[in-house]
């Protein structure tokens, strides 16, 4: 299941891509993450999915913040090495 969406529409700011081995990629606006999807239930006939959204978004944005912090720390380290 992979569905392309029009990112200019506000209703299409979230995209979920499922690969063959139940690996899910979650896209929220400009961010991508391969988070687990807690309590996932998919109803293919009704084109619906159910998941613990609060947990998912909490983990999604916490991981995004962690990665940003790691990148900022790496940049500071590199700048310090170049100043030597």
Domain ranges (residues) in the chain: 10-83
Give 22-70 pLDDT, tens digit per residue. Answer: 667 777 877 777 777 778 888 888 888 888 889 888 888 888 899 889 9
- Region 2-12: what's the mean pLDDT? 48
Residue 49's φ and ψ, nearest 5 degrees, are -135, 150
pLDDT value of position 29: 78
Backbone CA torsion sign across 11, 58, 31, 15: negative
pLDDT value of position 73: 93
- Tokens 């962690």 — which residue? 66
Give yes or no for a contact between 59 and 34, defined as CB atoms under 8 angstroms apart: no
Question: Which has the higher per-residue pLDDT, 16 or 36?
Answer: 36
Write down the pTM of the prediction: 0.54
């Amino acid at each position: 299941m992979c569905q392309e969406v029009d990112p200019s529409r506000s209703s299409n700011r979230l995209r979920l891509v499922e690969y063959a081995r139940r690996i899910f990629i979650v896209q929220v606006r400009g961010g991508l993450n391969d988070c687990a999807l807690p309590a996932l239930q998919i109803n293919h006939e009704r084109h619906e999915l159910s998941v613990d959204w609060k947990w998912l978004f909490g983990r999604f944005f916490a991981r995004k913040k962690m990665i940003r912090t790691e990148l900022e720390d790496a940049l500071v380290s590199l700048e310090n090495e170049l100043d030597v």
